[in-house]
Amino acid sequence: MTLREIAAWLGGTVVGRDDIEILRPAKIEEAGEGSITFLANPKYARFLAKTGASAVLVGPSLDLGSVSHPALSFVIVPDPYVAFLRILERLVPSPDPFYRGVHSTAVIAPSAKLGEGVSVGPLSSVADGVTVGAGTTIGAGVMVGKGVAIGSQCVLYDRATVYHGCRLGDRVVVHSGTVVGSDGFGFAPRPDGSYEKIPQLGIVRIEDDCEIGANCTIDRATIGETVIRRGAKIDNLVQVAHNVVIGEHTVIAAQTGISGSSKIGSYCRIAGQVGISGHVEIADRTTLLGQTGVSKSITEPGKTWFGTPQREHVRSGRIEAVLRHLPELRIEVDDLRRKLDDILRTITK
């Protein structure tokens, strides 16, 4: 692959010779002839002068004029690290982790329909009425319930589980141990304090291009649908309760939980261990910092929140700045009271 081809593929710009052949990626301090490396951290800039690499991926802010290495070519890209990983993935292909074809121990129900090029690993079960789109990969020990519809080019890693009737779009990735479509947590109290189960009759629908991490739980709706909208990315051990809607291209970090019927906007960024109460709405482009507890709706888009109960981040920082010195504030108030009492005694004397 020439540097020109690499730059075109990455959407980057070459500075220097672009007809050189790139054979492999390498670390900046170990790179030799024919290799491409990257500079993301300014701490490594000193290696630029002496690297043996033929080309370096750099960010747009680097001053190339300052680099005294005439033989070196550069590719300017928005994020050199990500670009390097993409090259790494392409030039050093890791072995395919999946079984290809339908393994002899997979249990495929007679009425299930597998599209072209679908793989099903060992000891997986695909129940009656399931449809799987072309090019989708199902790993080992995966359980797909009756009537589930899975789109094309999806990947279900080992031991993922999809309950009956749920629907996945195209290019959806579900990691190991995740459960899609378990019953929502709905119980009606009886007069004696015991509980009666409320039937959970809906489904989960995951739209195109979503990725769901490992050991997550996404509950089916009571009626209707729990929805993960297009392009949303969810980390490990995340809980999504019944009838929740997660907006497009929202990212949610590990161990966050969203209670029933809450609606999360699009392009939100939700950190780890956040808890969101039931029946709240969160505006688009909201950022929630780690461990935040959201108990009321957030209506204004694009703000950052922190704490339990949630506060706007800047306000939260101001409160924290005083809270940190609360023992001293307490002493100060005691001191004021003493002085005030002295004055009162002086005056009334």
Sole binder of a copy of itself in the list 12, 133, 141, 151 (CB under 8 A): 141
Span interacting with a copy of itself, options 48-56, 58-66, 130-138, 151-159, rule CB under 8 A: 151-159
Q: Give the range of 39-47, 51-59, 66-74, 286-294 binding a copy of itself by CB under 8 A.
A: 286-294
Min separation Cβ 46 and a copy of itself, Å: 21
Question: Does 85 contact a copy of itself by CB under 8 A?
Answer: yes
Interface pick for a copy of itself out of 59, 117, 257, 301 (rule CB under 8 A): 257
Q: d(Cα 311, Cα 56) in Å, to the nearest integer?
A: 44
In the block, tokens 């793989």 appear at 119
Among positions 46-75, residues that touch a copy of itself (CB under 8 A) are none
Per-residue buried b or exposed e for 221-258, using 16+ beta carbons within 10 Å of the residue's own CB: bbeebbbbbebbbbbbbbbbbbbbbbbbbbbbbbbbbb
Question: Which one of residues 168, 253, 288, 298 is an interface residue with a copy of itself (CB under 8 A)?
Answer: 253
Span 215-234, contacts to a copy of itself by CB under 8 A: 215-217, 219, 222-223, 231, 233
Contact 50, 29 (CB under 8 A): no
**How many CA atoms, within 13 angstroms, populate the side-chain half-sphere of residue 147?**
7
d(C-alpha 228, C-alpha 225), whole Å: 10
- Which lies closer to a copy of itself via its Cβ, residue 150 or residue 179? 179
Q: 152: which DSSP letter?
A: S
Q: What six digits make up the tokens of 312?
A: 């706007």
Q: Which of residues 153-192 bind a copy of itself (CB under 8 A)?
A: 157-159, 161, 163-165, 175-177, 179, 182-183, 185, 187-188
- Give least dist CB 346 to a copy of itself, A: 6
Query: Do residues 118 and 136 touch, judged by C-beta distance below 8 A?
Result: yes
139 binds a copy of itself (CB under 8 A): yes
Chain positions 295 to 334 lying near a copy of itself, rule: CB under 8 A, are 295, 307-309, 311, 318-324, 326-327, 329-330, 332-333
Give the tokens for residue 32. 């030799």
**CB closer to a copy of itself, 20 vs 151:** 151
Active site residues: 242
Burial bucket for residue 157 (CB in 10 Å: 0-12, 13-18, 19+)? buried
Q: Within 10 A of 4 (CB to CB), how many other CB atoms are there? A: 16
Of the two residues 47 and 185, which places its CB atom closer to a copy of itself in the complex? Answer: 185
Site track for a copy of itself across 96-135, x = CB under 8 A: -x-x---x-x-x-------------xxxxx-x--------
Q: Among all chains, which residue has been given the structure tokens 């378990």?
A: 182
Structure tokens at 100: 């290809």
